[in-house]
């Protein structure tokens, strides 16, 4: 199963919904699309919704960390939401949630970043 990424702009937030499997093969394509979306839209914050991500390995961690650094460098925030227990184990191992915020769902994430629903 391959990866499908949806990018939605809500006010000043880029919402990234990932579906499928994120490995090294999919990572470079995702990175390019994601960077393009950040460059084309006047957005600051990023929400990554992992509800439908069924598999991820360390290549996916690399992409997340790369985008986090870019978003943070521009003074904005990145929030991850709706993570499955399987994918969460990987994030926990890497200590990613010491730096990136994790919330239960997209609504909470949007509220947190001040987007009216």
Partner 1 sequence: MRNEMTIEFLSISENESLARVAVASFISQINPTMEELTDIKTVVSEAVTNAIIHGYEDNPDQKVRLSCAINGEEIEITIQDEGRGIDNVDMAREPLYTSKPEWERSGMGFTIMENFMDHVEITSEPGEGTTVHMKKQLTSTRALCN
Establish if 16 lies at the interface with partner 1 (CB under 8 A).
Answer: no
Residue with tokens 């909470």: 108
> Interacting stretch for partner 1, rule CB under 8 A, among 42-50, 52-60, 72-80, 103-111?
52-60
Order of strands across the sheet with 101-103? Answer: 3-10, 13-22, 45-56, 78-81, 101-103
Establish if 27 lies at the interface with partner 1 (CB under 8 A).
Answer: yes
Establish if 66 lies at the interface with partner 1 (CB under 8 A).
Answer: yes
Phi, psi of 82 (to 5 degrees): 55, 45
Q: Which of 10, 23, 77, 88 touches partner 1 by CB under 8 A?
A: 23
Using alpha carbons, list the distances in angstroms from residue 28 to 12, 23, 32, 66: 25, 9, 6, 11
Establish if 70 lies at the interface with partner 1 (CB under 8 A).
Answer: no
Establish if 57 lies at the interface with partner 1 (CB under 8 A).
Answer: yes
If the CB atoms of residues 34 and 79 are measured against partner 1, the closer one turns out to be 34
| Angle of CA points 49, 103, 35, to nearest 5° | 40
# chain residues binding partner 1, by CB under 8 A: 21
CA–CA separation, 30 vs 12, rounded Å? 21
Interacting residue ranges for partner 1, rule: CB under 8 A = 1-2, 21, 23-25, 27, 31, 55, 57-59, 61-63, 65-66, 86, 90, 93-94
């Amino acid at each position: 199963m391959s990866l499908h990424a949806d990018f939605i702009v809500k006010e000043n937030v880029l919402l990234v919904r990932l579906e499928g499997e994120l490995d090294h093969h999919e990572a470079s394509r995702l990175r390019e699309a994601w960077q393009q979306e950040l460059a084309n839209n006047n957005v600051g914050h990023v929400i990554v919704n992992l509800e439908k991500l069924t598999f991820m390995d360390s290549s996916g961690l690399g992409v997340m960390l790369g985008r986090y650094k870019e978003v943070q460098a521009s003074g904005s925030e990145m929030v991850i939401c709706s993570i499955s227990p399987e994918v969460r184990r990987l994030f926990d191992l890497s200590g990613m949630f010491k730096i990136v915020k994790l919330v239960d769902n997209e609504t909470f994430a949007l509220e947190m970043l001040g987007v009216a629903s």
